[in-house]
Amino acid sequence: MTDSLIRFETSNSPPIIAGGRKIILQSRALRIRLPFGGFVWNRPSAVLTQTTEGHNYVTMVHDVTRIAQALIFALGFADAIFITLAARKNTH
């Protein structure tokens, strides 16, 4: 195990057998270690499926919540810039 400050990790769930298929859930984690604590952000990344015939399928998971959070942050940042510029214009 490394002592890096920032790490990305991919992990798989134990296999689930359902309907003659083996299903494995995959997730990605961002781990940030700081001297006073840390932060871990897990998100789903894919569903791996193997049929009884031996065919393998990968279904990527699109994390809509993460996309929405990034959009909300970007809109808030743009709004803060707009309000700052409007306040400067009104004072001059």
pLDDT digits (tens, 9 = 90+) for 9-68: 999 999 999 988 999 999 999 999 988 888 898 888 999 999 988 899 999 998 888 889
| Residues near 25 by beta carbon (within 8 Å), at least 6 away in sequence | 12, 13, 16, 44, 46, 47, 48
Residue 72 three-state SS: helix
Residue 82 sits in the same domain as residue 49: no
Residue 51 sits in the same domain as residue 7: yes
pLDDT digits (tens, 9 = 90+) for 68-88: 999 999 999 999 999 999 888
**pLDDT higher for 27 or 90?**
27
Q: What is the structure's pLDDT at 92? A: 65
Residue 50 sits in the same domain as residue 69: no
Range of 33's domain?
1-61
Residue 55 sits in the same domain as residue 68: no
Alpha carbons 81 and 68: distance in angstroms, whole number? 20
Residue 51 sits in the same domain as residue 26: yes
Q: What is the structure's pLDDT at 2? A: 55
